[in-house]
Amino acid sequence: MSTLTLGPFNRVEGDLEVQLEVTDGRVRKARVNSPLYRGFEQILQGKDPRDTLVITPRICGICSVSQSVAAAYALADAAGVAMPPNGELATNLILACENLADHLTHFYLFFMPDFARPVYADRPWYADTEMRFRALSGSAAGVVLPARAHFMHLMGLLAGKWPHSLSLQPGGTAKPVQAQERIRLLAILGAFRRFLERETFGDPLETLVALDSASALDAWAARDPGRGDLRRFLQIADDLGLARLGRATDRFMSYSAYPSGGDRLFRTGLWADTGPQPLDIASIAEDPSHSWMVGGDPLHPADGVTIPDAEKANAYSWCKAPRLAGGVIEVGALARQLIDGHPLIRDLVSESGGNVRNRVIARLLELARVLMAMEDWVKAIAPGEPFCEQTAIPDEAIGVGLVEAARGSLGHWLTIRRGRVLNYQIIAPTTWNFSPRDAAGVPGALEQALVGAEVRPGETTPVAVQHIVRSFDPCMVCTVH
């Protein structure tokens, strides 16, 4: 047996270290460490509750809007206020823009460059992949960065700036959309659609969204090999067996996303024992046994405490271990699409479970599905109608804000006493996925997913491990906040 420490682990958001025990060229055990702690839950104590709208987005630069929305929802819950239709639509658009930009950045800048590494020089797809996806210099970066920046003009219009907007309010958004801006938004979405259809999918979004089974996906990919980056990825995935790589617990969760008019674009739920189940938020608890945190018994986040203890024995991460009814959970685009019931994702997961290939496919599918929804939301905006309900935050209240960030379920739990934040607890998506062990010694989702990964002779930073880690699109600053 040998041990490996992997880090710095780049092209993930934030700082990550992974420790592996390796025997016979395979990972036998993995420990995942989030080595950076800033203490947002402590910083928030005693603040004016409205200040959470300024502070929580600064938890994370890649999903700051998701944090803003969770904080706004928590305040809205505490105040008992509802958004006007325009407020809901604009909030959805801002959140969707961030989530889609994340999926795009992840695929092109964080995930795909690993296939341009020299270890794959003998593969038939290597020359093409190397030219397209090489980090910093591949041809994809040259088209993706401008497309992303233009798409983010939607943020300029609707949120003032990104990251760290204060537009998102409990009662709606502070930026009313005027008639000419609504038209401009359609132009921005149209340009992004054309980019995706040309570069990413090589086909209309509708074609992709209509794929309803693994065999339909195979047939689609085979029809026009190499047209669009998704087909390029599928070819690589087939060749390298990425559908057999990085399987975790196959228990998935989604808080649901994008409410509008009493309905939601993506459903809420739990997926366990190969079927959908109702989700009971009350059964969430965070276990600090292996984290550098004070405390022993798992606590529900509404009663949670976050006090660091850098000297704690047996601890190896600043991340706590969240559990749902005691069980390990995976969150993210795959969870969302599975729970929502998209037939392609249901079929892929029934075939091979949660794995590197399926996580990436779900993310790209979401790019198409959500962009189509965004077009409808913009059309539904009614300039001149209200965007924001005035809110008075009560002096004594509790509130919960649940949202889906790009990388999965994000929850904020807020307690207000005497007009101040008494307690604020956050469970971020990567806290679920990159959880350390719990008191029973059960490893978190990534720790399980890494077991069995191949370590080639001489590898000190095994490339299979990198694919698995990045397939979760982790965000380490969120994880421990």
Partner 1 sequence: MNLLWLQSGGCGGCTLSLLGAEAPGLFETLGGAGIRVLWHPSLSEASGGEVLDLLARVETGEVALDLLCIEGALLRGPNGTGAFHRFAGTRTPMIDWVRRLAARAHYCLAIGTCAAFGGVTAGGSNPTDACGLQFEGTYRGGLLGTDYRSGAGLPVINVAGCPTHPDWVTETLMAIALEGLTTQDLDAYARPRMYADQLVHHGCPRNEFYEYKASARTPSDLGCLMEHLGCLGTQAHADCNTRLWNGSGSCTRGGYACINCTSPEFEEPGHAFAETPSLAGIPIGLPTDMPKAWFVALSSLAKAATPERLRKNAVSDHVAVPPTIRPTKLR
Query: Which residue of 26, 28, 50, 123 would you call a contact of partner 1, by CB under 8 A?
Result: 50
23/137 with CB nearer partner 1: 137
Q: In the range 177-206, which residues lie near partner 1 by CB under 8 A?
A: 178
Span 378-417, contacts to partner 1 by CB under 8 A: 383-384, 386-388, 390
Going through 290-354 in order, the beta strands assigned E by DSSP cover 321-324
By the rule CB under 8 A, 269 interacts with partner 1: no
Please say which residue, 35 or 327, places its beta carbon nearer to partner 1: 35
Q: Whole-angstrom Cα distance, residue 392 to residue 40?
A: 24
Q: Name the residue nearer to partner 1 (CB basis): 267 or 420.
A: 420
By CB under 8 A, which span of 110-118, 256-264, 339-347, 433-441 interacts with partner 1?
110-118
Q: Cβ 287 to partner 1, closest distance in Å?
A: 21
- Please calculate the CA angle 443-446-451 and round it to the nearest 5 degrees: 75
Q: In angstroms, what is the minimal distance from the CB of 238 to partner 1?
A: 23
Contact 52, 71 (CB under 8 A): yes
Residue 16 or residue 321: which is nearer to partner 1 going by CB? 16
Binders in 299-338 for partner 1, by CB under 8 A: 308, 310, 318
CA–CA dist 282, 437 (Å, integer): 21
Q: Is 416 annotated as a binding residue?
A: no
250: left (phi > 0), else alpha (psi -120 to 50), else beta? left
**Contact region for partner 1 (CB under 8 A) — 128-136, 336-344, 358-366, 444-452?**
128-136
Residue closer to partner 1, measured from CB, 119 or 442? 119
Q: Is 466 in the site for partner 1 (CB under 8 A)?
A: yes
Rounded to a whole number of angstroms, the minimum distance from the CB of residue 90 to partner 1 is: 10
Separation CA 310–CA 317 (nearest Å): 10
Give the C-alpha separation, 306 to 480, whole Å: 10
Cα–Cα distance, 162 to 266 (Å, whole number):
24
Which long-range CB contacts under 8 A does 235-242 form with residues at least 24 apart?
Answer: 235/125, 236/115, 236/123, 236/125, 236/129, 237/356, 237/357, 237/360, 239/123, 239/124, 239/125, 240/123, 242/355, 242/356, 242/357, 242/360, 242/467
CA distances from 116 to 37, 173, 224 (A): 33, 42, 22
- Which of 21, 29, 55, 216 is the binder for partner 1 (CB under 8 A)? 55
Q: Is 63 annotated as a binding residue?
A: yes
Q: Tell which one of 1, 24, 122, 142 touches partner 1 (CB under 8 A).
A: 142
Number of residues that bind partner 1 (CB under 8 A): 91
105 sits near partner 1 (criterion: CB under 8 A): yes
Task: Closer to partner 1 by CB, 317 or 355: give it.
Answer: 317
The rounded distance, in Å, linking the Cα atoms of 206 and 479 is 35
Q: For residue 366, say whether it is annotated as part of any ligand binding site.
A: no
Q: Which stretch binds partner 1 (CB under 8 A): 160-168, 206-214, 219-227, 276-284?
A: 160-168
Q: How far is the CB of 145 from partner 1 (least distance, A)?
A: 4
Cα 373 from Cα 377, distance rounded (Å): 6
**Residues 293 and 306: beta-carbon distance below 8 Å:** yes
Q: Is residue 276 classed as helix, strand or coil in its secondary structure? A: strand
Interface residue with partner 1, options 110, 125, 233, 377 (CB under 8 A): 110
CA distance 162 to 471: 25
Among 6, 356, 364, 451, binds partner 1 (CB under 8 A): 6
Smallest separation, CB 152 to partner 1 (Å)? 5
Return the structure tokens found at 74: 């928590």
Query: Which position among 85, 160, 259, 327 is part of the footprint of partner 1 (CB under 8 A)?
Result: 160
Q: Which stretch binds partner 1 (CB under 8 A): 172-180, 295-303, 369-377, 434-442?
A: 172-180
Q: Which amino acids are annotated as binding site for Mg(2+), given as ranges?
A: 41, 426, 481
Binding site, annotated residues for Fe cation: 63, 478
